[in-house]
Amino acid sequence: MEELKKVIVPIGPYHPLLEEPEYFQLFCDGEEVVDVEWIAGYNHRGIEKLAESKHWDQVTFLVERICGICSTSHPFAYCNAVEDLAQIEIPERAKYIRSIIGELERLHSHLLWIGLAGHFLGYNTVFMWAWKYREGILDMFEMITGNRNHYAMFRIGGVRRNIEDEDIPILKKTLSEVEGKIKMLTEAVIDDPVLSARLKGVGILNKEDIKNYGAVGPIARASGVDIDVRKDDPYAAYNLVDWKMITTNNGDVFDKAVVRLLECFESIKIINQSLDRIKGTKGEIWKEVREIPKGEGIGRHEAPRGEVFHYIRSDGRASSPIRHKIRAPSYVNIPTFKASCIGETISDVCIILAGVDPCYCCTERIAVYDKEKKKKVYSFEDLVKKSIEKTEKIKKEIGKESKLWKKLF
Amino acid sequence: MNVIYSFWYFVLSFIFLSVIGLFVSWIDRKITARIQWRVGPPWYQSFADIIKLSGKEVLVPEGSNRFTFIFSPILSVIASTICGTMLLLVLRKNFGFGGDLILFIYLLTIPSLSIILGGSSSGNVLASVGISRELKLLLSYELPFICAIIIPAIKANFTTSLIEIFQYQNLNGSNIFSLSGIIGFIIILIASTGKLGVVPFDLAEAETEIAGGALIEYSGILLGFYKLAKSILLFVVPLFIVILYLGGTPIIGFGSLLIFILKYLVVLILITLIRNTNPRLRIDQSLRFFWGWLTLIGILGILISLSGV
């Protein structure tokens, strides 16, 4: 085994497969991948620490900058967390608008992935077409929020901008155009025999693997695990509209693509219903929030890549959170490569790694390097040990007075 | 005198082939762009690329075999230029000799071999993955490619001379208007995508997997030579297919030349369409595809052509 491990095919730190700096070492025996090692830590920005020095309202914008693609997921989860903490019920109109933004983002993110997956397979026509279709969604964003990527729509207690009645017909028209195009793309992808040959039976994750790694989102749903925060723990307007969760059973890359494509149609359903509900009605879009009381809150949102989780703690005096903990879906999805990549060929490993739709900037955790010796100071095990130690320390300090901690332990 | 004449003929045809090859690669890029709803590059883009590359620094990696590393791109250009020169001779002067078809099979493998040579001399891990793929691919597409070359040779009364195949078609109509001709044409079209190293058989370069593969360490004019050789091949291989399967009108005068160019463009566009409507295949899949179905159909085509259909 040691002999075989000597040939390392590097994917990263800078590689056309990855949009972000990240390093996968493939230990290869010919074309077959025997083992994979993941080295992270090129992109850490210390957002959690930064959040502790910002005002509650500023944190909404800060967390929006965690990820460029699912930029609204983090504010969504953060606002949910703060509203959970302060027990705020947001106005109904704001709920619908939040859902619309969340689902539009899912649409553009899934289309982006389909395009990238095509590019990674050398199928640049799919790449260009999917991104062309995505333009319609970005135009809708521009119409609603004024921005194409960082929308700044969320605030604690509601949303910042209203969707006016006169905008709704043109929004619905754009959406139905995009729907037709996605339908065509879906049929093209599902019927393509070469794509099937390339993707079916590749990188299979079964239900056991999903549970062991705690994978979430489309990855879990492609393996037949029906988890979706929008259904399991409804927030915003997701329990007010009619939609269904998409699951498939094979767990290969092809199913992951199918789940994403079919989810697009559910998103369109949600958006259409929400637009119908807010049309012709008037109402507040935010609720004034003056103070954040002492306590803790959690917020969850089903981002395009899976469940994003925010934990917030306030001491009731400071104007900023005293602890902000973020867990992005890629953090649990990426490590599934241990179960899906080993034994596959290099070509397949590339698309499997891309198949989880990894978002590295969401995932980045600390890495400590010694500059002189050019060596890592802490190994993964050391960091886990340190993290457990710290958790124990915090538990001793505050564990008794917290309701949440009692629930968890 | 003869030597000097051939030398100048070679140089002139190199210039001609470079210009037309780069122009043809622009057509390929432009069609690709239009299929993908992009605007596409201006007509001089391919020339600009080569000129830009020739101005860049050439880096020879440490630990590489310097001579092989520098020599193999040049070999690649020379081989593809000789291919093109031979074809032009056949078309322009009806010049050829008895076994030039076999010579072509050899010459067309040299660009692939030079990529393997260059990649293996660079000493890069990704390049080694790339050359192992290129080797397997070369072995796999060569078999149906040769099958498809044998078919017109049989039809033209068992000759291995390209000029005789071309003249046979002038008398008896294009090879493609027969059952074995159609089979052979489809096979050689698919095999030539492997030969040209375009999608679905671009695994030796597979940018998103092994970041350029065999060519990863190349830079400057050496990379430019590989690109140039590839462009020339993009001109030579479809021309070869046209001569083998779509002959039928002797090139006399302007009108017949136009028809000939049209035929060439049809083959080129077909290759471009194949490369834009398929994802990249895995190496085991391409091997199974070439040695399985395609070779079987190729042998079937040979049998049919033996029976004279």
User: Taking CA atoms, what residue in B is nearest to A202?
Assistant: B282
Residues 6+ apart with CB under 8 A from B242: B260, B263, B264, B267
Cβ <8 Å between B208 and A197? no
SS3 B250: coil
Alpha-carbon gap: A22 to the closest alpha carbon of chain B (Å) = 14
Smallest Cβ–Cβ distance between B279 and the set A7, A10, A121 belongs to: A121
Q: What is the pLDDT of residue B231?
A: 92
Q: What is the pLDDT of residue A279?
A: 83
User: Taking CA atoms, what residue in B is nearest to A32?
Assistant: B129
Q: Does A125 touch chain B (CB under 8 A)?
A: yes
Instruction: Tell me B56's DSSP state.
Output: S
Can you tell me the mean pLDDT for B128-135?
87
Cβ <8 Å between A350 and B209? yes
SS3 A46: coil
Cβ <8 Å between B208 and A16? yes
CA nearest to B240, candidates B210, B202, B285, B195: B195
Q: Domains in chain A, ordered, with CATH?
A: 47-334 (1.10.645.10), 368-409 (no CATH)
Type of residue numbered B272: T
Q: Which residues of B touch A19 (CB under 8 A)?
A: none
SS3 A34: strand
**What is the DSSP secondary-structure string of A62-126?**
HHHTS-SSSTTHHHHHHHHHHHHHHTPPPPHHHHHHHHHHHHHHHHHHHHHHHHHHHHHTT-HHH
Q: How many A-B residue pairs are in contact by the CB < 8 A criterion?
A: 83
Residues of chain A numbered 343-382 and touching chain B (CB < 8 Å): 345-348, 350
User: Taking CA atoms, what residue in A is nearest to B210?
Assistant: A11
CA distances from B108 to A210, A263, B19, B159, B217 (A): 49, 48, 20, 19, 24
pLDDT above 70 (res B94): no
**What is the DSSP secondary-structure string of A337-401?**
HHHHTTTSBHHHHHHHHHHT---HHHH-----EETTTTEESS-HHHHHHHHHHHHHHHHHHHGGG
Can you tell me the mean pLDDT for B12-36?
90
User: Taking CA atoms, what residue in A is nearest to B124?
Assistant: A9
Q: Is A79 left (phi over 0), alpha (psi -120 to 50) or beta?
A: alpha
Instruction: Tell me A21's DSSP state.
Output: -
pLDDT above 80 (res B154): yes
Cβ <8 Å between A31 and B129? yes
Q: What is the pLDDT of residue B33?
A: 92
Interface test with A, best of B278, B284, B285 (most A CBs within 10 A): B278
Interval A210-249: pLDDT, tens: 888 888 889 889 988 888 888 888 888 888 888 888 889 8
Can you tell me the mean pLDDT for A293-317?
88
User: What is the C-alpha separation between B55 and B24, in angstroms, rounded?
Assistant: 23
User: Pairing between strand A375-376 and A369-370?
Assistant: antiparallel
Higher pLDDT, B250 or B5: B5
Q: What is the pLDDT of residue A293?
A: 87
User: What is the C-alpha separation between A263 and A288, in angstroms, rounded?
Assistant: 34
CA distances from A289 to A56, A86, A398, B31 (A): 11, 9, 26, 57
User: Taking CA atoms, what residue in A is nearest to B33?
Assistant: A125
Alpha helices in A146-241 (DSSP H): 168-191, 193-199, 207-213, 218-222, 229-232
Can you tell me the mean pLDDT for B133-140?
88
Where residue A1 falls among pLDDT bands split at 50, 70, 90? very low
Rounded to two decimals, the ipTM of the complex is: 0.81
pLDDT above 80 (res B236): yes
CA nearest to B208, candidates A343, A348, A337, A218: A348
pLDDT above 80 (res B173): no
Question: Which two structure tokens, joined as six digits, stand for A36?
Answer: 């994979």
Can you tell me the mean pLDDT for B21-32?
91
β-bridge partners, A29: A32
Q: Are B243 and B166 in contact (CB under 8 A)?
A: yes
Q: Are A178 and A320 in contact (CB under 8 A)?
A: no
Higher pLDDT, A178 or A407: A178
Burial class from Cβ neighbours inside 10 Å (0-12, 13-18, 19+) for residue B41 reads middle
Cβ <8 Å between A347 and B125? no
β-bridge partners, A60: none
Q: Look at A50-64, A82-96, A240-254, B207-221 and tell me which has the smallest mean pLDDT.
A: B207-221
Q: Does A194 touch chain B (CB under 8 A)?
A: yes
CA nearest to A304, candidates A128, A74, A65: A74
User: What is the C-alpha separation between A47 and A34, in angstroms, rounded?
Assistant: 35
Q: Which residues of B touch A118 (CB under 8 A)?
A: 279
Q: Look at A167-171, A368-372, B13-17, B211-215 and tell me which has the smallest mean pLDDT.
A: A368-372
Q: Does A238 touch chain B (CB under 8 A)?
A: no
Question: Which two structure tokens, joined as six digits, stand for A235?
Answer: 């927030």
SS3 A239: coil
Q: Look at A94-103, B66-75, B178-187, B240-249 and tell me which has the smallest mean pLDDT.
A: B240-249
CB hemisphere CA count around A108 (13 angstroms): 23
Q: What is the pLDDT of residue A46?
A: 82
Q: Are A20 and A328 in contact (CB under 8 A)?
A: no
Can you tell me the mean pLDDT for B43-66?
88
Question: Which two structure tokens, joined as six digits, stand for B194?
Answer: 């492997």
User: What is the C-alpha separation between B213 and A290, in angstroms, rounded?
Assistant: 59
What is the phi/psi pair of residue A22, to 5°? -160, 150
Higher pLDDT, A268 or B213: A268
User: What is the C-alpha separation between B87 and B82, in angstroms, rounded?
Assistant: 9
CA distances from B230 to B17, B28, B90, B272, B303 (A): 11, 12, 22, 14, 33
Interface test with B, best of A29, A31, A189, A348 (most B CBs within 10 A): A31
Type of residue numbered A319: S
Can you tell me the mean pLDDT for B69-87?
88
User: Taking CA atoms, what residue in B is nearest to A353?
Assistant: B209
Q: Which residues of A touch B281 (CB under 8 A)?
A: 194, 197-198
Where residue B305 falls among pLDDT bands split at 50, 70, 90? confident
CA nearest to B24, candidates B238, B187, B188: B238
The pTM for the full model equals 0.85
Q: Look at A104-118, A298-312, B191-205 and tell me which has the smallest mean pLDDT.
A: B191-205
pLDDT above 70 (res A5): no
Where residue B200 falls among pLDDT bands split at 50, 70, 90? confident
Smallest Cβ–Cβ distance between B279 and the set A28, A123, A345 belongs to: A123
Question: Which two structure tokens, joined as six digits, stand for B59?
Answer: 């880096």
SS3 A175: helix
Cβ <8 Å between B207 and A30? no
Can you tell me the mean pLDDT for A380-391?
81
Interface test with A, best of B208, B277, B284, B288 (most A CBs within 10 A): B208
Alpha-carbon gap: B155 to the closest alpha carbon of chain A (Å) = 33
Cβ <8 Å between A122 and B36? no
Q: Are B135 and B59 in contact (CB under 8 A)?
A: no
Alpha-carbon gap: A119 to the closest alpha carbon of chain B (Å) = 8
Q: Which residues of A touch B199 (CB under 8 A)?
A: 122-124
pLDDT above 70 (res A113): yes
Smallest Cβ–Cβ distance between B278 and the set A28, A194, A345 belongs to: A194
User: What is the C-alpha separation between A156 and A88, in angstroms, rounded?
Assistant: 9
Alpha-carbon gap: B298 to the closest alpha carbon of chain A (Å) = 21
Residues 6+ apart with CB under 8 A from A170: A143
CA distances from A75 to A59, A100, A163, A297 (A): 8, 14, 19, 14
Q: Does A188 touch chain B (CB under 8 A)?
A: no
Alpha-carbon gap: B124 to the closest alpha carbon of chain A (Å) = 10
User: What is the C-alpha separation between A314 and B181, in angstroms, rounded?
Assistant: 79
Q: What is the pLDDT of residue A405?
A: 55
User: Taking CA atoms, what residue in A is nearest to B127?
Assistant: A9
Q: What is the pLDDT of residue A374?
A: 73
CA nearest to A134, candidates A151, A118, A110, A153: A110
User: What is the C-alpha separation between A117 and A132, in angstroms, rounded?
Assistant: 15
A382-393 burial code (b ≥16 CB/10 A, e <16): ebeeeeeeeeee
The gap from C-alpha A171 to its chain's centroid, in whole angstroms, comes to 25
User: What is the C-alpha separation between A127 and A116, in angstroms, rounded?
Assistant: 6
